[in-house]
Amino acid sequence: MSPFATAPVDPESPAAQAVIAGARADTAYPKFSDIPPAPANPRTARDWARAVASVEAAGAQLAAQTAPGTWTLDGTAAFAARAQADVTPPPAITTSDTEAFARDARERATPPPSPR
Task: Give the three-state DSSP class for 8.
Answer: coil
Q: What are the residue ranges in the chain where pLDDT is below 70?
A: 1, 25, 94-95
Q: Distance between CA atoms of 16 and 95, rounded to whole angstroms?
A: 63
- Whether the Cβ atoms of residue 87 and residue 80 lie closer than 8 Å to each other: no
Residue 95: the pLDDT is 66
**pLDDT computed for residue 61 by the predictor:** 95
Q: Which of 63, 62, 81 is nearest to 72 (CA)?
A: 63
Q: What is the dihedral of CA 73, 74, 79, 80, to 10 degrees?
A: 70
